[in-house]
Structure 1
Amino acid sequence: MSQSLPFVTPDPVTCQPLGDGTLLIDTGFVRPGFDGAYLLVEGGRAAFVDCGTAHSVPRLLATLAAQGLQPTDVEALILTHIHLDHAGGAGQLLQHLPHAQLLVHPRGARHMADPSKLWAGASAVYGEEVMRRDYGELLPIPAERIIEAGEGHRFSLAGRELHFLDTPGHARHHLSIHDISREQCFTGDTFGLSYREFDTPAGVFILPTTTPVQFDPRALHASIDRIMALQPRRLLLTHYGPVTAQPELTAQLHRLIDAMVTLAQDQAQLGGEERHMRLVQGLACLYRHALDQHGWHGDEVEFMRLLGNDIELNAQGLGIWLDQSPTH
């Protein structure tokens, strides 16, 4: 039986209609405009792509209700990957969606049925108190409700065809979803991060994410190119929102991946805190220079407010990549 949740009225901050039966929902994780989920609506049926944390569930259900839809109208929750800012609320959400199946990469399916290892791994880093505060409780999902949606999987939402691509590089359990008739692709974290606060007359700024623990630069380069080969009209990022699919963004991502790898390799002989500190400092300089070139002139306080967490996580990811790849 589903638990009672407070009703949250969607507003322009929480929910942004994107047209073509697609809505962006701010999950409320970290800060406004940081973490998004998507609601697809077609012929009176619905599906979510990613769901944020357990604390995000009221926002998702409120957005559904605002479209005149019932929880019974939802056919699927599709996860790009199982990192907790994308999938942490899956168990709670599915308690409210009696007819919905969970579609997830085969490598991630067992962790959705039994999230204990996900919880233990994250808790070892952040601590139990922070985990419950930021993510809420992880609930297991019955195996019979889980569909392993690997490379080539197809899902039809009232005739709206979604094709699934295996796109590793950020994580080995990462999917991107091609919404064919809408000429758009849900890219999770594979196509990087693009925050609206960094938009300038030059366009959008985008950077890769090497968040621990499965960064693979060769695979990430290939996955980015594969997404663009679909010739989508727009890309729907979890962090954050829609961006127009332009070759300049692809080039920017490739350049930054290579620059981040070079930075990491230059610190390969170091270890421990000294290496991590130098990676943090190097990434901050790299991103600040790229933003200066992009025409963004915010101060250092704003820069760190927006990117401090990503710099820390990217430094951790590069360090783990160095440790796992002795020949780099």
Structure 2
Amino acid sequence: MSASAPEWLETLGHGVHAIDTGFQRARFDAAYLVVDGGRAAFIDTGTRHALPRLIGALSAVGLGVDAVDWVIPTHVHLDHAGGVGPLMQALPHATLLVHPRGARHMIDPSALYQGALAVYGQAEMDRAYGELVGVDAARVRTSEDGMRVPLGGRQLELIDTPGHALHHHCIWDPVSQGWFTGDTFGLSYREFDTADGRAWIQPTTTPVQFQPAALRQSIERLLGRAPACMYLTHYGRVRDVPALGTQLLHLLDEVVALGRTLAPMADTAARHTALSEGLRQLYRRSLRAHGCALADAHIDELLALDVELNAQGMCVWLDREAR
């Protein structure tokens, strides 16, 4: 790659490149470009606004749009897959490889848009996501648990990982011995790294398909491969995987306990408020124990979107359990 590579592109070795899609803030949302033998795959895409960076990443590593064989969203939430349609239009030879539960939403994204609109509102949809573009069904292939697909000289492996979303799969790279985890292995923002480089991680419970038991099983399945690293969409590559896995599962248990404590509240608005405050306090305590020195107000600012969406997702989960 050129010495003048853009600041939003990070080369991680083993042919893996992280692209900061520019969604929300710097180092919040990553897409990945994997290159092997002159062939390429994108894993996650960010929103449609990320398209210039995605195409620019190809140019930066010396490849053209005809070198891309695969576009693989980990799941079809818009911060991971909102850019799939425009990207596929720009890549003449790529195949979209998507979880079977998400394929119809990539072909016709109208229901996906309406679902996101209900969560975010029109102003935020216009600002952050924009118009969604469908993909020709003839260019769509669905994944199966344990399937392998070729990329140059390596074989990427896909496994079904429900818990965050029913339409979620994770991708194993045998060369770097790492998983592309989407949201299954949680969120780890670089602002919370300690001075000695230790990362902090949290589970995500966003609407509408959070299932804690399934998520725990998926996390444990990822850990069972003894990976050298995890490639998170939010954000970047993390190492020290066993320690992070322990922390993630512990926080998941605490989140579930918080939800069950507040489940009896009949007033849904009051329950949402209580969940939001409970999550803020839980995250602060965990970060203090981790060694984070940021002020509470700064922590709250960085986690504001997560607190809101996680509280919403927990409300949906609790209502589903009560039925």
TM-score, normalising length: structure 1: 0.95
Alignment-derived partner of residue 123 in structure 1? 117
Cα distance, 1:158 vs structure 2: 1.0
Cα distance, 1:122 vs structure 2: 1.4
* Structure 1 residue 308 corresponds to structure 2 residue 304: yes
Q: Cα deviations across residues 147-201 of structure 1 (Å, max 9, x unaligned)?
A: 0012122111012110000011100110000111221110000000000110013
Alignment-derived partner of residue 234 in structure 1? 229
Q: Any stretches of 5+ residues in structure 1 without a counterpart?
A: 1-8
Q: How large is the Cα RMSD of the aligned pairs?
A: 1.4
The answer to whether the 8 Å contact 1:202/1:294 transfers is no
Cα distance, 1:130 vs structure 2: 2.2
Structure 1 window deviating more from structure 2 (213-222 vs 10-19): it is 10-19
Q: Cα deviations across residues 273-311 of structure 1 (Å, max 9, x unaligned)?
A: 110010000000000000000110111231122111101
Cα distance, 1:248 vs structure 2: 1.4
Letter in 2 for 1:302: H
Change (3 A) 1:276 1:10: farther
Letter in 2 for 1:272: T
Matches within 5 A, 1:48-67: 48-67=42-61
Alignment-derived partner of residue 246 in structure 2? 251
Change (3 A) 1:90 1:196: same
Equivalent residue for 2:33, pick from 36, 39, 42: 39
Cα distance, 1:10 vs structure 2: 7.8
Runs of 4+ in structure 1 over 6 Å off: none
The answer to whether the 8 Å contact 2:230/2:241 transfers is no
Q: Any stretches of 5+ residues in structure 2 without a counterpart?
A: none
SS in structure 2 at match of 1:288 = helix
In 2, Cα distance between equivalents of 1:92 and 1:158? 24
Q: Cα deviations across residues 26-60 of structure 1 (Å, max 9, x unaligned)?
A: 00000000000000111111110000000000000
Alignment-derived partner of residue 85 in structure 1? 79
Q: Cα deviations across residues 297-328 of structure 1 (Å, max 9, x unaligned)?
A: 1112311221111011111111110000128x
Letter in 1 for 2:109: P
The answer to whether the 8 Å contact 1:169/1:190 transfers is yes
Alignment-derived partner of residue 275 in structure 1? 271
Alignment-derived partner of residue 94 in structure 2? 100
Q: Cα deviations across residues 70-129 of structure 1 (Å, max 9, x unaligned)?
A: 001111101100000000010000110000000000000011000000111112333333
Letter in 2 for 1:325: E
In 2, Cα distance between equivalents of 1:157 and 1:93? 18
* Structure 1 residue 76 corresponds to structure 2 residue 70: yes
The answer to whether the 8 Å contact 1:78/1:102 transfers is yes
Letter in 1 for 2:23: F
Alignment-derived partner of residue 4 in structure 1? none
The answer to whether the 8 Å contact 1:81/1:173 transfers is yes
Structure 1 window deviating more from structure 2 (234-243 vs 174-183): it is 174-183
Alignment-derived partner of residue 291 in structure 2? 295
In 2, Cα distance between equivalents of 1:95 and 1:71? 10
Q: Cα deviations across residues 5-28 of structure 1 (Å, max 9, x unaligned)?
A: xxxx98453100001100000000
In 2, Cα distance between equivalents of 1:118 and 1:44? 34
Q: Cα deviations across residues 220-263 of structure 1 (Å, max 9, x unaligned)?
A: 11101100111111100000000114221111111111111110
The answer to whether the 8 Å contact 1:13/1:32 transfers is no
SS in structure 2 at match of 1:209 = coil
Cα distance, 1:215 vs structure 2: 0.6
In 1, Cα distance between equivalents of 2:306 and 2:121? 19
The answer to whether the 8 Å contact 2:30/2:46 transfers is yes
The answer to whether the 8 Å contact 2:5/2:60 transfers is no
Change (3 A) 1:65 1:52: same
SS in structure 1 at match of 2:101 = helix
